[in-house]
Structure 1
Amino acid sequence: MDPSLAELLAGIGPRLRRIRRDRGLTLDDLATATGLSVSTLSRLESGKRRPTLDLLIPLARAHRMALDHLIGAPPTGDSRAHLTPHRTEPRTGNPSVVVPLTAYPGRLQAFKQILGTGTGTGPPERVTHPGHAWFYVLSGEVRLLLGDRELLLGPGDTADFDTAEPHWFGPAADRPAEILHLYGPHGDRPRPGDQ
C-alpha cells in the first residue's frame, strides 16, 4: 500500500474521535444520530475497524461535513474555485442570480445573490420553510418583508431571521441589489467559529 494512503487511513479513526469530542458528543449520541452501533463507532475510532463508505457516509451526514473534510483527505485537482451562477425566475417578485460560495450538503450555505428588478406578475409572495437566514447588503437597497413588518436595508445593513416566519426580499428601488446570503437548512445560525 502507498505509504501516504496508509498514513491517511491510520489517521481517520483519531480524527473521527477528535471531531466527535470537539462537538461534545458521546458514542451513544453518535450511534443514535447515525444508526451505527456504539461498538462499531468505538472500533472505527480506535483503528480496529477499517473505514468504509457505508460507515463514513452516515458520520459525514451526522456531523454535516463533506466526506473529504471528515477524513482529512488531501486536496486534489484544481484548487481554484469555479463558481457557477444560477438564474431564478419566480412567478411573483424579482428574478435573481445566485452564486453558490459553498457546496456542502446539509450544512450552512453561503451565496452571493444579485436581486434583480421585478418582472414577475403580482405582489411579492411571502414564503416559509425550515431554516435560518442571514444576509449582508453589499450594494443597492433591499426591501425585506418579514411577517407583518417591512424593512429597508442599505449597504452594510444585515438581516437575521427564522425562515419559518413568512418572508420575501428584493431590491427596494429600480436598480438591482447585491447581498451576501447565509442559510442554514436545519435552523443553523451563523455564529463565530462555524467552519
Structure 2
Amino acid sequence: MSAAVLFACILYAKSADLNSDKQALLAFPASLPHGRKLNWSSTTPVCTSWLGVKCTPDNSRVHTLCLPALGLFGPIPLDTLGKLDAQEVLSLRSNRLTVELPPDVGSIPSLHSLYLQHNNLCGIIPTTLSSSLTFLDLCYNTFDGEIPLSVQNLTGLTAILLQNNSLSGPIPDLRLAK
C-alpha cells in the first residue's frame, strides 16, 4: 500500500469518527427543547466553532461537551450523547433535564467527569457507570432508591456528589482515590 493511500485511509478514519460525533451532537438538540440557540450546524466545523464543544488536540474526536444553563428541557435523548465514545467530560448542569439518566450516557467508556447537578433528573442512579469516572455530580435532582453498590467498582473516583436527592438506604463503602 502506498504512503498516499495509507494517509488517505487514516484521514478518512479520523473524519468518520468526527462525522459520527457530529451526527450524534446534531441529533441531541433536535430531540430536546432548549432556551438558548446553539450555533451548531452541519455546515460549520465542530471543533472550532460549536458552542460548548471541545475536541481532542488533533481535532479527530469530541472530548468535552459543556452546556450549562442553556434551558435544555426534557429527557436526554437516547442514542445521542452516548455515541460520543471518546468524550471525557460531560456537563449539562443547571438545565431542566427530566426523567432518568439514559444508561448509554453514564457508561461512555472514556468518561472521566459527569456534571448533571441542578436538573430534574429522577429514577434510580444507573448501575452501569463508566469505570473511568473520577468525578460524578448528580446533586440537586430527584433521584431516588439506593446508591448502587456498583459505585464501589469506580476505583478512580475522587468525588461523588449526591446531596439533595431522594436517596435512601446505606451508603456504599466508596474508598475514594486520593
TM-score (norm 1): 0.27
Q: Answer 1 or 2: higher relative contact order, Cα 8 Å, separation at least 6.
A: 1
**Higher radius of gyration, 1 or 2:** 1
**Whose strand proportion is higher, 1 or 2?**
1
TM-score (norm 2): 0.29
